């Protein structure tokens, strides 16, 4: 909910970070940050003004002049300190995250930890930002490359991973010598801001990291700003496509990780108990609000008889507030998100899918106002049904059927999205065929959510990604740097002149 002005109240306000200072916004437009399990207003976040966005970019532009010259070891040591601080504050960070986003405390710690892994990787930037050299490519001529920072970069992050995804972005951007302007989700910015505070404590200089809050107007301002050289985005396909088109037209590098419809193939030879556990966890964990959630299971052959066992497994999951002991499925992030998911369940029924397990209107004692939807399972799902064609982003698992592995692979490849996929099997031949023939970026073999560790890069494809280089890992070093190729020849007084060379050849 947004408001025209900030009323006098005891609710804390979320600050902007500009030039190393946490400042109160002068905006007249504010939004409540709401606990999705209780509807308690936790804070109020401003939609930054155009002048505030300009000030943040100007601070980053000024800081870049000195930061780009900072020794690579000095930059690395900041992230060694930051990873230590994140570990020391893990419980606090998880509690903030659960309060504003809703996921369970163990899952919130996982959110922070998966971001921490990128911070650890950034601390090794001295081994990552290396050029290449070829000696004596012609007589007395050497060629080598330098990976130099771009300048001011920006990041736009979603609500579902308010710790991990900001940590995908600003540590690697800053470690490579850039400065950064971050726009976190306006729905749950508090844990992001706590991480930013820790980054300053770790030694990030004033202006190197800046934060602005807001919605579409702030996003457009970042896309259009002439001093921003690159933008990283994670979020919906609609917004990501808009960001990519607008920012690339403004001459920027852009990477957009967008929507998904992740399928898992279940072969009849799979370990049944392990597979059912994996499907339930990947489909319903985080209330299905993951871009890598398994939202479709394709049951091959005799695996089609596993539906009752899968439904029984889903029934065992506890729906409650993320702070409650033993909770498996927390609330959706907002009332609007809950209403959208419930609406898609209703459309699934109307479209003819069979509702095997109905998670609408669960009774959650003590949290009657929470945005809860319980685990929901449809069978007989086909393309053309809304519950299949759209990314539900809720605890809804669709079941489809195939008579063979080839048919299942063709079914997945016909879907426009290519974010993540998995196969459950005990056959090495089936697994290898799957990994070779499937047209999806992240592939799991008996792993339901194959998000790579930062030694590798996130590699969504097709409609799930715009831009050729992914977040974190080796690819993001290339994204955040400009390769400069130097060809050098040195002469001394004894060098014999070769005369005028009017050809393109090196002699």
* Residues marked as catalytic: 291
Is 196 in contact with 211 (CB distance < 8 Å)?
yes
Instruction: Give 300's strand partners.
Output: 402
CB neighbour burial string for 344-378, b if at least 16 within 10 angstroms, e if fewer: bbeebeebebebbbebeeeebeebeebbbbbbbbb
Q: Distance (Å, rounded) from C-alpha 463 to C-alpha 418?
A: 6
Which residue, chain included where needed, has tokens 């809860």?
372
Residue 472 DSSP one-character state = S
Burial of 141 (0-12, 13-18, 19+ CB in 10 A): middle
What H or E segment, with its residue span, contains residue 296?
strand 294-300
Q: Distance (Å, rounded) from C-alpha 462 to C-alpha 28?
A: 40
Is 485 in contact with 143 (CB distance < 8 Å)?
yes
Instruction: Give 155's strand partners.
Output: 182, 232
Number of other CB atoms surrounding residue 201 within 10 Å: 12
Q: Distance (Å, rounded) from C-alpha 21 to C-alpha 206?
A: 8
3-state DSSP assignment of residue 251: coil
Number of other CB atoms surrounding residue 124 within 10 Å: 15
Calculate the alpha carbon distances from 261 to 20, 167, 237 in Å: 40, 24, 11
Q: Distance (Å, rounded) from C-alpha 317 to C-alpha 297?
A: 18
């Amino acid at each position: 909910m947004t408001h025209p002005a900030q009323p006098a109240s005891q609710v804390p306000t979320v600050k902007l970070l500009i030039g190393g200072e946490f400042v109160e916004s002068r905006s007249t437009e504010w939004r409540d940050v709401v606990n999705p399990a209780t509807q308690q207003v936790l804070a109020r976040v401003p939609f930054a003004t155009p002048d505030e966005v300009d000030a943040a970019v100007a601070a980053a532009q000024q800081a870049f002049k000195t930061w780009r010259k900072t020794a690579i070891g000095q930059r690395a040591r900041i992230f060694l300190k930051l990873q230590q601080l994140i570990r020391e504050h893990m419980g606090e960070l998880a509690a903030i995250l659960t309060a504003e986003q809703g996921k369970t405390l163990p899952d919130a710690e996982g959110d922070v930890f998966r971001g921490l892994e990128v911070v650890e990787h950034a601390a090794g930037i001295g081994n990552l930002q290396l050029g290449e050299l070829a000696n004596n490519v012609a007589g007395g001529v050497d060629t080598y490359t330098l990976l130099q920072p771009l300048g001011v970069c920006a990041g736009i992050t979603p609500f579902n991973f308010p710790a991990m995804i900001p940590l995908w972005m600003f540590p690697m951007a800053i470690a490579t010598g850039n400065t950064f302007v971050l726009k976190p989700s306006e729905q749950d910015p508090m844990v992001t801001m706590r991480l930013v505070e820790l980054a300053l404590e770790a030694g990030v200089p004033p202006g190197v990291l800046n934060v602005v809050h807001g919605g579409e107007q702030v996003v457009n301002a970042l896309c259009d700003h002439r001093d921003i050289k690159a933008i990283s985005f994670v979020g919906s396909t609609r917004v990501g496509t808009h960001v990519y088109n607008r920012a690339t037209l403004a001459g920027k590098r852009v990477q957009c990780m967008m929507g998904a419809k992740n399928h898992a193939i279940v072969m009849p030879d799979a370990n049944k108990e392990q597979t059912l556990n994996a499907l339930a966890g990947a489909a319903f964990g985080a209330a299905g609000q993951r871009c890598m959630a398994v939202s479709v299971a394709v049951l091959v052959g005799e695996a089609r008889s596993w539906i009752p066992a899968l439904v029984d497994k889903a029934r065992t999951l506890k729906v409650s507030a993320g702070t409650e002991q033993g909770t498996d499925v927390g609330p959706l992030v907002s009332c609007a998100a809950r209403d959208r998911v419930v609406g898609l369940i209703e459309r699934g029924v109307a479209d003819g899918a069979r509702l095997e397990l109905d998670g609408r209107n669960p009774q959650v004692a003590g949290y009657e106002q929470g945005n809860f939807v319980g685990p929901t399972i449809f069978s007989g799902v086909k393309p053309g049904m809304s519950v299949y064609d759209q990314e539900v982003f809720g605890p809804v698992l669709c079941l489809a059927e195939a008579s063979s592995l080839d048919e299942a692979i063709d079914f997945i490849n016909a879907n426009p999205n290519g974010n993540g996929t998995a196969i459950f099997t005990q056959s090495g031949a089936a697994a290898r065929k799957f990994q070779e023939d499937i047209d999806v970026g992240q592939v799991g073999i008996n792993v339901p959510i194959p998000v790579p560790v930062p030694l590798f890069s996130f590699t969504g494809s097709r409609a799930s990604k715009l831009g050729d280089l992914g977040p974190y890992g080796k690819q993001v070093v290339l994204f955040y740097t400009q390769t400069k190729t130097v060809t050098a020849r040195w002469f001394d007084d004894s060098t014999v002149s070769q005369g005028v060379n009017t050809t393109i050849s090196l002699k």
